[in-house]
Structure 1
Amino acid sequence: MKKVLILGASGSIATLVTRNLLDDSRVQLTLLVRHPERLATDIRIDSRVTVVVADVVKDTAQLAAALQGQDLVYANLYGANLKQQGAAVVAAMTAAKVNRIIWISANGIYNEIPGKYGQWNAQMLGSTLTAYAAGAKVIESSRLAYTIVRPAWFSDKDMVSYELTQKGQAFKGTEVSRKSVAAYLTTLILDDSQAIKQSIGISEPDTAGAKPSFY
């Protein structure tokens, strides 16, 4: 049984990933949330799913307890204090001797987006982009076996189609479906030997432009 701790489990991408993982009987999930009422109603709490109500910064004891025996952490966190959240997660994982983490960030944290879309993205995200960059830096500076995933802007297209770029390469595309990001994350979780110590950009092919199609 593979034991996975999902931080920020009520988010839209985390919900899709949870549904994907529940299709695999070899996976056992711990869902850490601040607001359990926001969990999708179709996710049943049973022998394979445990819910922990905690804030990763404020509730260090609950985070430490949730980490015991886990094989992997998937962090789908958000907020102005992502640097502090990252530091709390790294410290807790190090203490619990859990080494593998998949950390969701955002496109543009390295100024890796060329042209008008890069300018639009930075303007739209503003201080949020700064927070994502600070959180990612904490993860990259740790000794953890991390994968950082940097999605383009989310669409609700009912499709799985994506292309990947590495840190140091120009980011491609302006948008990506939530289903595509969830599919890639599910692949990383089920085969966690992939993309170790890498920061991966993900977008839908052939979506280059000045901004996403839905703006």
Structure 2
Amino acid sequence: MMTQKVAILGAAGRIAKLAEPILLEKGMDLVLYAPHPRKIDSDIRENEHVQVVEGDVMETGKLAEAIRGASVVYANLAGSTDNDHPNTVDQAESVVDAMKSAKVSRLIWISSLGIYDEVPGVYGDWNRKTLGHILVEYAEAAKVIEESGLDYTIIRPAWLTDNDEVSYEITQKGEPFKGTEVSRLSVATVVAEIINNPEQNINESLGIDKPGTDGDKPSWM
């Protein structure tokens, strides 16, 4: 059986850094694409199954070369609130173009709760006001992904914690979002599970929260 090659964009991000050791443990080869690769943990960078590429996702040609031959691209991108830098929509368009150029079709895209106005009640109002224009950009980026023709899975986490726990429930697009929070480790676990079973959850948008955390806003707010 051929070893699966996975390209991770934004590989120094906090969720990505939790997913990387899980994927290596499953025997996968990783291409870690990041603008500041020194932020990736050294034991991961130096692993023989890891290739590190320094680059920005807006360098579409360079990105296409980096991901060529990968079976899955996992995009863990935050965008920018700075008008002089690319936002999430620009990043989504570049990723789609690079994947089509490299002939890679499977994409996992981290987004946010609330992009479909699916968060009900007081919590939904609070989330919308708190995230503001960032939520609008995430929604536009998700639309780019959904209309790309790629085999995508969009992941919409609740507000993130650093709790060392795996506890989550999933809602589909069109269903009301549930809890207020979820651990980054839970999201990383879901990402790794989908990468390990890439035929699952194709063209789905998954909301992820911790069961029993329903409320008007996250507990620490």
Kept in 1, the 8 Å contact 2:45–2:52? The answer is: no
CA distance in 1, matches of 2:75, 2:42: 21
The corresponding residue for 2:216 is 210
Give the 5 Å matches for 1:33-48: 33-48=34-49
Cα separation, partners in 2 of 1:137 and 1:209, compared to 1, 3 Å: same
Q: Of 170, 180, 183, which aligns to 2:186?
A: 180
When the two structures are superposed, what TM-score results if normalisation uses the length of structure 2? 0.94
The corresponding residue for 2:83 is none
Aligned residues: 213
1:14 has 2:16 as partner = yes
CA distance in 2, matches of 1:46, 1:156: 25
Aligned-residue sequence identity (percent) comes to 52
1:126 has 2:98 as partner = no
Kept in 1, the 8 Å contact 2:9–2:77? The answer is: yes
Shift of 1:46: 3.4
Over the residues paired in the alignment, what is the CA RMSD in angstroms? 1.0
Kept in 1, the 8 Å contact 2:123–2:217? The answer is: yes
CA distance in 2, matches of 1:211, 1:174: 6
Kept in 2, the 8 Å contact 1:147–1:199? The answer is: yes
Secondary structure of 2:64's aligned partner = helix
Give the 5 Å matches for 1:110-189: 110-189=116-195
Kept in 2, the 8 Å contact 1:35–1:53? The answer is: yes
Shift of 1:129: 0.9
* 1:179 aligned partner, one-letter code: L
Secondary structure of 1:102's aligned partner = strand
Secondary structure of 2:43's aligned partner = coil
Consecutive aligned runs of 4 or more in structure 1 exceeding 4 Å deviation? none
Kept in 2, the 8 Å contact 1:174–1:208? The answer is: yes
The corresponding residue for 1:64 is 64
* 1:71 aligned partner, one-letter code: S
1:194 has 2:195 as partner = no
Kept in 1, the 8 Å contact 2:61–2:98? The answer is: no
Residue segments in structure 2 that go unaligned for 5+ positions in a row = 81-86
When the two structures are superposed, what TM-score results if normalisation uses the length of structure 1? 0.96
1:75 has 2:81 as partner = no
CA distance in 2, matches of 1:66, 1:37: 18
Kept in 2, the 8 Å contact 1:52–1:62? The answer is: no
